[in-house]
Structures are given as C-alpha cells and as structure tokens.
Amino acid sequence: MRNRVALNERPGYPGVVRAVKRILQSIPELEFIELDVPRAGLMSNYLTVAPKFKDELREQEFKAAADASVTTLATIFHACHRELCHFEERVTFEIVNVMELIGQSMGVKAEDIYKRLKMMSEVEAMMDDCSDLLSRHGLDANEARDVLLADQLAAKPLQGRFVENDRR
C-alpha cells in the first residue's frame, strides 16, 4: 500500500516547494496529494505574530488532509515541523519532516526524538527520557528543565486584547 502524502507548503520559497514536490513524486511508495488550502509565510513561526490566523490556517490544512485521507502530512522546514509535530496526537495522519520520507526511501530510518519529546506533556517525563543524555554531556538538569519549559511546553502564545498607548 502506498502512503498518501500531503505537503505543508510555504509560499515564501516557491523553488524549494517545487523541488520537494518533485522529489516526493519520484518516490514510488508515495502517492502525492495536493491540498487546496490557503498558504502564508516563509515558515510557520513567521506567523506567530498573528496567532489566530496561524491557528485557522493550520486547522484548515488538517481538515483538508483528513478529508483527503492522507496518511502523512510532511513539513518542509524544520521550524514548521517543530510547531506542528505534536498535533499528531489529535489528527488521523502522521506528521513528519520531508527528510524522514526521503531517508526512508533510501532505507535510512531515524527516530524523531524531538517529536517524541514534544508529544510529552510533562517536563519531568522529558527529563526522565533525557537523563542519560544530560549525564553523558555534563548538562545542568535545572538549566535543561528551564529550557524544556520555555521551548517544548510553551507552544501557545498569550491571546490578550490590544491596548492603545494613550501617552503623548
């Protein structure tokens, strides 16, 4: 059975998107599926300044992918993968970086450790998972915990109201 793969596209680098599509379409095990959804930004992290817009785009893409019965949504850019991979828990398809698909087509398989950690909801679970790495590399556990809290578990920005500065 062929994997049905859709691409998380960004219009800011059209040459990159075209090249990735050509590569994916050359992999016999993959059936490339085009999603008819709005696209914006160079990478998803560029849209962080407009969180509601970013969320709407993501949800439209996830719905279109589910409606098209894709098995895989592939991100091109690592920044996009970092922002999307943990949503795999609530969608009907896997979310991988395109490099994983290319590697698999050549017989190379590597675990996505970042995604495994990102899908954990507790910092202590992440710390336990990485305790051997912390020891092996002489990293400070408290500093690592702070980084994990700031990076891995801080996926949702505040959505406060806009306040005008009335000072003259």
Length, in residues, of the chain: 168
Tell me if 158 is assigned to some domain.
Answer: no
Q: Which of 98, 75, 6, 83 is nearest to 46 (CA)?
A: 83
Contact indicator for 75, 98 with CB cutoff of 8 Å: yes
Token couple for 57:
């785009």
Query: What are the mean pLDDT values of the chain's consecutive 10-residue runs (168 residues total)?
Result: 89 92 95 93 77 91 98 94 92 97 94 90 90 94 89 57 47
Give ∠ CA 124-62-6 in degrees, rounded to 5.
105
Terminal CA-to-CA distance of the chain, rounded, Å?
Answer: 66
User: What is the count of structural domains for the chain?
Assistant: 2
The predicted pLDDT at position 162 comes to 46
Distance CA 102, CA 27 (A): 8
Distance CA 105, CA 108 (A): 7
The predicted pLDDT at position 159 comes to 46
- The CATH number assigned to the domain holding 33 equals 3.40.50.1860
Task: Identify the domain containing residue 133 by its residue range.
Answer: 120-151
Tell me if 15 is assigned to some domain.
Answer: yes
Residues 143 and 67 in one domain: no
Q: What is the DSSP letter of 89?
A: G
Residues 32 and 100 in one domain: yes
Tell me if 132 is assigned to some domain.
Answer: yes
Distance CA 148, CA 122 (A): 10
The predicted pLDDT at position 50 comes to 79
Residues 91 and 16 in one domain: yes
Distance CA 156, CA 58 (A): 14
